[in-house]
Amino acid sequence: MRQFDPTITPAEYKVLLVDDDPAMLRLLSRWLTKAGYAIRTASDGREALDAIELECPDFLVTDWEMPRMDGLELCRRVRETVLPHYVYIVFLTVRTGAAEMIAGLENGADDFLAKPVAEGELLARMRASSRVLELERRLSLLAHTDAMTGLATQRTFYEALEKEWRRCRRSRAPLSCAMMDLDFFKQVNDVHGHPTGDSVLKIVAELLVDSSRVSDTVCRYGGEEFCIMLPETPEHEAAKWADRARRRLASLRVPAGMKDLQMTASFGVAECRDDTQNSEELVDLADQALLCAKRISRDRVVCHSSMVDGAEPTRHGGMRDEVFEGKVARDVMSPLVMCLHEKDTISEAARFLLQSGMASTPVLDAEGTLAGFLSEKDLMTAMIAPDCWQRPLAAVMRPNVICYEENTPVRVIYEFLCRVSIRAVVITKRGRPTGTISRRSLLQWFREWVIKQDLVSPQAFGSSVDACSTASTASGPAPRSLDTAGAFRSDA
């Protein structure tokens, strides 16, 4: 650690003087102002606490005997308060006995000056205590900032987020959080070495800070992940900010030997909702959206609200490995025999979902490849719009679709659905949807596995489950269906 820096001047320190004697305040203010310190004054302990809450000083120089709240009580209250940095407390008092000094030290005092105060002694004590404050600043900097990027650490970020969370809960102001992950960053370290990877992280940190407001907080969450708190910002505005940062990052060129690197990043954005339980859950929602962005195609921004359909995240514990052994997506998926087209109308989509008994379905484009995803909630949102029934599905479907190839291990999909709030994923074969896997289909598959393993009797599940699974759908005109090539043919 570096030694004390003698170039640090008194002007860098803020001093709060507290005394009920106006003449003493004027005298001390004149001495310390002449020495270069920034001075504020208060006439008693209560006024001093209000001043500290407004702007935390570096030094608190206080008298002992004052009306309303004396110096000893003020000292104790300051030490009980969570402050942004350490406050060095100096008592000015005629009480110089051992009992008084012990009481003051036990309540948090750092030093004593006996009245009447000499100017030279006061300034000497201030210079000596500034060395303590400088050391505290350096230790605090090491504890609260990431050594490589200079950003806030994860712990510091959560402390700031918790304060902002409580403030926004009281004021009903919006609060959003963005999670960012550098795409394929491991390849940078593997191919170009860790020094190049460190340079990339520093450049990205500078870009994020430069893109943020003073009120925002940027932290290095871990590895190549960054987390940004955006107070007074709804989700759609946070998504715009994230997209601007994403495009700026994509335009950067990072020197790496004989050539420059081009980096991209994925972002997940979430806003604090009425049902968001705490600040940690807000970060988790943004992390879920980030996970979806990476699953879709990377180098994009995904809002948590665009991925959820009202379900709560599933809580789960460990499972035996044999449940998933050798199983891939095609073994578990519900095959697609009917599907909607992006040019179909909302009216046709509503009839399709009602007749099929399905809660959601993939939507295809003219070539038969996946274009989006439509759920009952999407239709409900569109219902209140004028002339909604003739609008094409392309206007209301969600284009961000989580897809897995047919040969993906079931365990991967299971762990994903347990992590995020979405209920289903689409299974594809060379870009064309062939089925879906939902929480319900995984539950059905697990039920059948349990029965097959004789772990429980079929009767334990009850007959109502079988009745529901075999119920026929309502009659009516059949929607389009898929042939084996994935193209549409009409059953009408």
Q: What is the pLDDT of residues 35-71, one digit of tens each?
A: 999 999 998 889 999 999 888 999 999 988 888 888 8
State residue 266's pLDDT score. Answer: 94
Q: What is the mean pLDDT of residues 454-480?
A: 44
- Evaluate whether 215 touches 160 at the Cβ level (below 8 Å): no
Catalogue all structural domains in the chain, each as residue range(s) with its CATH number: 10-144 (3.40.50.2300), 154-306 (3.30.70.270), 321-489 (3.10.580.10)
**Residue 8 confidence (pLDDT) above 90:** no
The residue among 183 and 337 whose pLDDT is bigger is 183
Helix ranges restricted to H, 172-328: 185-192, 194-211, 235-251, 279-296
Q: Which of 281-285, 339-343, 482-486 has the highest mean pLDDT?
A: 281-285
Residues 364-383, buried b or exposed e (16+ Cβ, 10 A)?
A: beeebebbbbbbbebbeebe
Give the pLDDT of residue 205. Answer: 94
Q: Is the pLDDT of residue 201 over 90?
A: yes
Q: How far apart are CA 101 and CA 434, in angstroms?
A: 80
Query: From CA 333, how far away is CA 31, in angstroms rounded?
Result: 80
Percent of the chain scoring above 70 in pLDDT: 86
The pLDDT value given to residue 308: 61
pLDDT of residue 290: 92
45 and 19 Cβ atoms separated by less than 8 Å:
no
pLDDT class for 81, splitting at 50, 70, 90? Answer: confident
Residue type present at position 91: F
Reply yes or no on whether the pLDDT at 472 is more than 50: no
Confidence check: pLDDT of 399 > 60: yes
pTM: 0.56
- Tell me, what's the pLDDT at 304? 87
Q: Is the pLDDT of residue 388 over 60?
A: yes
pLDDT at 445 (0 to 100):
84
Closest CA to 378 of 409, 342, 326, 405: 342
Highest mean pLDDT out of 28-32, 81-85, 446-450, 470-474: 28-32
* Phi, then psi, of 106 in degrees rounded to 5: -70, -25
Where b means 16+ CB within 10 Å and e means fewer, 30-57 reads ebbeebebbbbbbbbbbbbbebbeeebb
**H-run or E-run covering 229:** strand 225-231
Q: Are 221 and 231 a contacting pair, CB within 8 Å?
A: no
pLDDT digits (tens, 9 = 90+) for 263-296: 999 999 999 987 788 889 899 899 988 988 888 7
CA-CA distance, 243 to 119, in Å (whole number)?
58
User: Of the segments 184-198, 345-359, 390-404, 436-450, which one has the largest average pLDDT value?
Assistant: 184-198
CB count in 10 Å sphere of residue 475: 7
Residue 14, H or E segment? strand 14-18
